[in-house]
Amino acid sequence: MTEASANAPARASATDWIAVTAGALGALMATLDISITNSALPQIQGEIGATGTEGTWISTGYLMSEIVMIPLAAWLTRVFGLRNFLLGNAVLFTLFSAMCGLSHSLPMMVAGRIGQGFTGGAMIPTAQTIIRTRLPREQMPVGMTLFGLIVLVGPLMGPVVGGWLAENISWSWCFFLNLPVGVALVVLLLSGLPPEKPQWDAFFKADWTGIAGLAIGLSSLTVVLEEGQRNQWFESSEIVLLSCIAAFGMMLIAVSQVVAKRPIVRLSLLRNPRYASVILIVFAVGAGLYSVSFLLPQFLSIVAGYNALQSGSIMLISGVPAFLMMPVLPRLLGKVDSRVLVIAGLLAFAGSCLLDISLTAQSVGHDFFGSQILRGIGQMLAMMPLNQASMAAVSREESGDAAGLYNMARNLGGSVGLAILGTVIDRRNDFHTEAIRESVTANSVIGQERIASSAAGFFAQTGDMAHAKLQALGQLSMQISQQAVVMTYSETFYVLAIALLACLPLAMLLKTPSFKPGEAPSAGH
């Protein structure tokens, strides 16, 4: 932030808003690409000759590199300067996107996605840092609301945009879409951010122990969480090896906290109970966000038979409150206690999950309308004050490190939440399937009545009683599997609600920043 802008009391300049817009556009591009390939994955796999298991690396590669880059962004910003760093990432992200769109092999695609993750991961925390350093305190709620809206809506829009492009144009446009956006981003960055000289001393004197630990620890941990359930966890030698590597990386990060003058991940910020409470809550909310984004489309696909585009349209309903609340929420952030807003948001988010615990095999998209609206309100009320509280709990000098840790916690919470969710779904589904089969056997009265009734209907169509009985047994087996899935998903929504409600006591530790007219942000507040 320039000296002039630091002393300008009340309003941000046009240049400041251009910088904020640039940061927001970069963050939107990065968050959109987290999930844009989900709907188009079958087409991509067919084009590049990848199996279903291999195709998961198209998503895992992005997440793995993104979560490593996010906490490195503050250090790299100090080394290269904010404008140079963001310009480099914008150009590289665009080039890696083109590489993905032109890919005809799995290694080329995964390499491009890893590159996208590294460069895109840098644009998420830096957007938050730009808002924190370029906007005066009175206008910061507007900037933070914009950032929070992007973080929420980007992953929701990804499957819808990706599915539409794959169905109507080509899967390659899931990546080529970034090319014009990347050009616009470069123009905005050149216009809105002042040039800065690189500080190469910060590069050579960096915490290389922590950087090494971060790179191997978080990347290995992400792969373990993403692939663990698919590979039966510790029954897989690959998962065991990666877990050991992740543990070694975490040990290096712990050592760096002691030996480094300025650790790459400033875990010392967690000594601040106000900031630590933000991190714990955003970890849980991140788990909720990613888990619901997984659960709802899966349920609609398996039970209701929806395609990716139809499921995505239901997911987007939760984004409607976000847009409707945009004009109102910045005023609330300046006038209402953050603790009240976060508690209300957590209650609404948990309530939306509780609305979905009474699912049936007949549940379809419109049955989720009420819960999705309530979920959107809860996410906005919880995430917006958390964005702001994370910055309010630290000084301006610590804002870059705090933003990196905050965004890392949200993404890591999502990975942990999905890993736990996958395990719960598999195990509880097996449990319910077995329990229903024990109670509805071919020898039970209920089982005999159901098979006889179905067989009579099939016999009337085919005239072959033996074949009709086989069809009836197959139908019963499918119904048992479907009911087990419904019961399992209802339980997972209940577990999510409990996890969110458990965060309520932490919300009492949040710090509410004051927004006095004419007051500029101070270094420590």
* 266: three-class secondary structure by DSSP: coil
Predicted confidence (pLDDT) per residue in 228-275, tens digit: 777 778 888 888 998 999 899 889 988 988 888 888 888 888 888 888
Q: What is the pLDDT of residue 512?
A: 57
For tokens 């819808």, the residue is 160
pLDDT band at 525 (very low <50, low <70, confident <90, very high): very low
pLDDT at 8 over 50: no
Per domain, the residue ranges of the chain are 1-204, 207-263, 269-423+489-512, 431-485
* 33: three-class secondary structure by DSSP: helix
Q: Which of 222, 230, 288 is nearest to 59 (CA)?
A: 222
Q: Which CATH architecture has domain 269-423+489-512?
A: Up-down Bundle (1.20)
For tokens 């009985």, the residue is 469
**Alpha-carbon distances, residue 203 vs 119, 198, 318, 489 (angstroms):** 18, 9, 43, 48
For tokens 């470069």, the residue is 186
pLDDT band at 430 (very low <50, low <70, confident <90, very high): confident
Note whether 73 and 125 are within 8 A (CB): yes
Q: Which two tokens stand for residue 440?
A: 């509805």
Question: What is the model's pTM?
Answer: 0.72
Note whether 286 and 225 are within 8 A (CB): no
Q: Which of 149, 111, 156 is nearest to 127 (CA)?
A: 149
Query: CA-CA distance, 316 to 299, in Å (whole number)?
Result: 16
Q: What is the pLDDT of residue 244?
A: 93
The residue with greater pLDDT, 464 or 523, is 464
Q: Which two tokens stand for residue 247?
A: 């543990």
Query: CA-CA distance, 502 to 443, in Å (whole number)?
Result: 45
Q: What is the mean pLDDT of residues 306-314?
A: 76
The residue with greater pLDDT, 176 or 202, is 176
pLDDT at 520 over 60: no
Q: Which two tokens stand for residue 386?
A: 């958390």
- What is the phi/psi pair of residue 326, to 5°? -55, -45
* Share above pLDDT 70 across residues of the chain, in percent, rounded to a whole number: 86
Query: Burial level of 391, CB count in 10 A (0-12/13-18/19+)?
Result: buried
Helix (H) / strand (E) containing 501:
helix 465-501
- Domain 1-204 matches domain 269-423+489-512 at the CATH topology level: yes
For tokens 């991190």, the residue is 279
Query: CA-CA distance, 96 to 114, in Å (whole number)?
Result: 9
Predicted confidence (pLDDT) per residue in 364-386, tens digit: 888 888 888 998 888 888 877 88
Q: Which two tokens stand for residue 250?
A: 């975490």
Looking at domain 1-204, its CATH class is mainly alpha
For residue 313, give the amino acid letter: S
Query: CA-CA distance, 475 to 455, in Å (whole number)?
Result: 10
Predicted confidence (pLDDT) per residue in 381-428, tens digit: 887 788 777 777 777 777 777 877 888 888 788 878 877 887 888 888
For residue 424, give the amino acid letter: V
Q: What is the mean pLDDT of residues 315-327?
A: 81
Q: Which of 393, 417, 399 is nearest to 498 (CA)?
A: 417
Q: How far is CA 8 from the centre of its chain?
A: 36
Q: What is the mean pLDDT of residues 492-518?
A: 74
Mean pLDDT of the chain: 79
Query: CA-CA distance, 161 to 33, in Å (whole number)?
Result: 10
**Alpha-carbon distances, residue 73 vs 213, 303, 320, 403, 518 (angstroms):** 15, 42, 31, 9, 31
Q: What is the pLDDT of residue 368?
A: 87
pLDDT band at 465 (very low <50, low <70, confident <90, very high): low
Question: How many other β-carbons are positioned within 10 Å of the β-carbon of residue 30?
Answer: 28
* Share above pLDDT 90 across residues of the chain, in percent, rounded to a whole number: 6
Predicted confidence (pLDDT) per residue in 152-181, tens digit: 777 777 777 887 887 788 888 889 988 998
First and final CA of the chain: distance in angstroms?
17
Rounded (10°) CA dihedral 145, 149, 152, 157? 180
